[in-house]
């Protein structure tokens, strides 16, 4: 019977660019087998070497996770939709390098028994559109003034978050970031302006939030979020909002929220798709219940590599701000136990059910993670290949230019997408997008030395690995740093994007 499989944006390059495919199947596993038989490169993104679904990919039949039904044997019927929901990292350019260790604030979350702060006449006028709503009113606005929110990141998601939470009257806000404003941020990170390029994001965000609402107390932490400082930071705030863009920090935020009992307002974005939820272990699942393990490094592209529609973080960030405000107000229907998927290109929302995993190592019945761990090691960021594995050969842009100038016979394969090729390209290269590399392998001459490149070197490495697994016999070399390095080292006239 015909069922529709919805292909998420990060995996469409391995499915011929298609967003939906129709197959005839009676179970979810049979449908996925048919899908991956047609698109073989997609299989390694969905299944591990033991032929089991990977832990960073969830499969839903309509709104039910098949892990909580009958796994791959979950029956499907005519007209059902199978959704593949992978973990995505995108959000803000998050902390990956420490500059200065922030001072921890002496303030503490509002004591449940303490009297709520009063509103001045100026604040009453400012928040009047809240005050006339019975769901907020004077008591709700005073709750907002008493509340504290810690924002991890002040970039794509953090920009609308910070601005809306400040405008709503959240009394105390903590900002964690250390990055600087880059021109490429301005397409979506609306808290920063052209005049802020080169400034620390945390300074730019602080100034903008203060301008929106001078009644807000702002605490800045220009530091990397680490296992050493996360618990000390989190304990000082009522709500934690995750606006990060990498898996080590996502798992760190989750585990620290579970250990401190804080709600984790989650959002992530990629290209034109977004996800949002509230992970609160005391009331429902945590992030690890949804994604027990992170994907291997490089398997999921970042926003820097895959791009993001400029308005998307505004939409997802506003949803996160909405949920944070609802938590503070004590609204009855916050987004616990639900995962919201948004497709900005099609303007579609989907809502999926989430369930707590009793075997979750952090929030399950018998947790094994009782303190923060090394999250870069957990996500294999620092793991080196075994000595027996050959290291992929690389060439720098400067070395490639020297060899081309001396007349060496080198073919250059560009594995980016056609729209990227239009932005910038290296002369005399052949364009074969990553998703087409195996089907067009015969267009690459194995008798010639081949340099493969993309934007920054990640996709080209994947292409080389895929070609080698498929038996390509020629010499393959990865261009270190991709076309970005070519622009930096060889030809500044080539645009950087």
Catalytically annotated residues: 303, 454
Determine the distance from the C-alpha atom of residue 403 to the mean position of all C-alpha atoms in its chain, rounded to a whole number.
38
Residue 68 has which token pair? Answer: 């909580």
Supply 33's token pair. 């087998």
| Burial degree of 212 (CB within 10 A; 0-12, 13-18, 19+) | middle
| Collapsed DSSP state (helix, strand, coil) of residue 269 | strand
> Contact at 8 Å (CB) between 342 and 315?
yes
* 344 contacts 315 by C-beta, under 8 angstroms: yes
Q: How far apart are CA 118 and CA 50, in angstroms?
A: 61
Which residues are within 8 A (CB) of 458 and not within 5 positions of it... i.e. 6 or more apart? 298, 301, 305, 482
What's the CA gap between 497 and 490, in Å, rounded?
16
CA separation, residue 388 to residues 49, 384, 467 (Å):
19, 11, 20
Query: From the CB of residue 317, how many other CB atoms can be counted at a distance below 10 Å?
Result: 34
Distance CA 127, CA 141 (A): 8
Contacts of 482 (CB under 8 A, 6+ apart): 453, 454, 455, 456, 457, 458, 460
Q: Please report, to the nearest 10 degrees, the dihedral formed by the alpha carbons of residues 460, 466, 472, 473 taken in order.
A: 70
Strand partners, 189: none
Q: How far is CA 338 from the centre of its chain?
A: 18
**Matching residue, tokens 């707590």:** 356
Distance CA 189, CA 88 (A): 19
């Amino acid at each position: 019977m015909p069922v529709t499989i919805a292909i998420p944006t990060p995996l469409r390059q391995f499915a011929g660019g298609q967003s939906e495919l129709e197959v005839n199947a009676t179970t979810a596993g049979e449908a996925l087998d048919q899908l991956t038989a047609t698109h073989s490169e997609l299989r390694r993104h969905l299944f591990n070497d033991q032929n089991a679904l990977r832990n960073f990919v969830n499969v839903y039949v309509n709104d039910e996770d098949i892990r909580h039904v009958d796994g791959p044997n979950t029956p499907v019927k005519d007209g059902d939709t199978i959704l593949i929901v992978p973990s995505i990292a995108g959000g803000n350019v998050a902390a990956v390098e420490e500059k200065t260790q922030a001072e921890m604030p002496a303030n503490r979350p509002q004591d449940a028994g303490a009297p709520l702060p009063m509103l001045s006449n100026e604040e009453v006028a400012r928040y009047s559109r809240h005050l006339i709503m019975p769901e907020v009113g004077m008591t709700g606005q005073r709750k907002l003034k008493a509340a504290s929110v810690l924002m991890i990141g002040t970039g794509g998601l953090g920009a609308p978050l910070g601005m809306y939470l400040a405008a709503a009257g959240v009394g105390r806000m903590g900002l964690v970031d250390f990055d600087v404003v880059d021109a490429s941020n301005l397409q979506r990170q609306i808290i920063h302006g052209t005049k802020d390029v080169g400034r620390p994001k945390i300074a730019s965000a602080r100034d903008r939030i203060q301008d929106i609402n001078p009644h807000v107390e702002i605490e800045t932490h220009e530091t990397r979020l680490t296992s050493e400082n996360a618990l000390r930071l989190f304990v000082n705030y009522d709500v934690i909002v995750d606006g990060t863009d990498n898996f080590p920090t996502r798992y760190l935020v989750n585990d620290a929220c579970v250990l401190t009992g804080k709600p984790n307002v989650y959002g992530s974005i990629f290209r034109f798709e977004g996800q949002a939820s509230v992970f609160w272990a005391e009331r429902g699942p945590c992030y690890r219940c949804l994604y027990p393990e992170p994907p291997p490094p490089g398997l999921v592209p970042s926003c820097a590599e895959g791009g993001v529609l400029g308005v998307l973080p505004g939409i997802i960030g506003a949803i996160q701000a909405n949920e944070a405000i609802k938590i503070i107000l004590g609204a009855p229907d916050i987004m616990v136990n639900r995962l919201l998927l948004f497709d900005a290109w099609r303007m579609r929302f989907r809502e999926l059910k989430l369930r707590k995993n009793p075997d979750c190592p952090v929030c399950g019945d018998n947790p094994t993670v009782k303190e923060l761990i090394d999250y870069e090691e957990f996500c294999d960021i620092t793991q080196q290949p075994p000595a027996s594995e050959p290291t992929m050969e690389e060439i720098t842009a400067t070395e490639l230019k020297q060899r081309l100038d001396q007349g060496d016979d080198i073919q250059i394969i560009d594995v980016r997408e056609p729209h990227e090729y239009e932005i910038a390209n290296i002369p005399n290269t052949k364009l074969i997008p990553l998703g087409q590399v195996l089907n067009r392998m015969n267009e690459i001459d194995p008798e010639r030395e081949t340099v493969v490149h993309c934007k920054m070197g990640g996709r080209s490495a994947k292409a080389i690995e895929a070609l080698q697994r498929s038996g390509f016999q020629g010499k393959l070399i990865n261009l270190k740093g991709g076309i970005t390095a070519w622009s930096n080292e060889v030809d500044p006239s080539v645009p950087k994007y």
